Amino acid sequence: MSIDEQNDRIFKALAASSRRAMLDRLKDRPQTTGELCQHFPALDRCTVMQHLKVLEEADLIIVRREGRERWNHLNPLPIKDIHDRWIGPYAAQAVEILARLKDDLEG
């Protein structure tokens, strides 16, 4: 799979607010699928599993099975890669523009 195809999967996975909320829940610690289902009472278990499958296919979570439990772990590396490619350079440019504006205003 190409980098562009992988980025498309990541952005599509992040497009859904429910999936972003699930990633937020996994930020502090891994959770079982059952635990995640409890945090999303408006969604049935099947829907939660479908969202987790999209996140797993985008490599945003890593799934480990322990007996009957399925543990979902956040994989922060794809998000860091997006930050490094898209957010970091734009943020640096914005800070530079603000610094020039400050200098212009003060000088």
DSSP 66-100: ETTEEEEEE--HHHHHHIIIIIHHHHHHHHHHHHH
The dihedral over CA atoms of 88, 93, 94, 98, expressed in degrees to the nearest 10, equals: 140
- The tens-digit pLDDT sequence of the chain (107 residues) is 788 899 999 999 999 999 999 999 999 999 999 999 999 999 999 999 999 999 999 999 999 999 999 999 999 999 999 888 888 888 888 888 888 888 888 88
Q: Which CATH architecture has domain 1-75?
A: Orthogonal Bundle (1.10)
Q: What is the pLDDT of residue 104?
A: 85
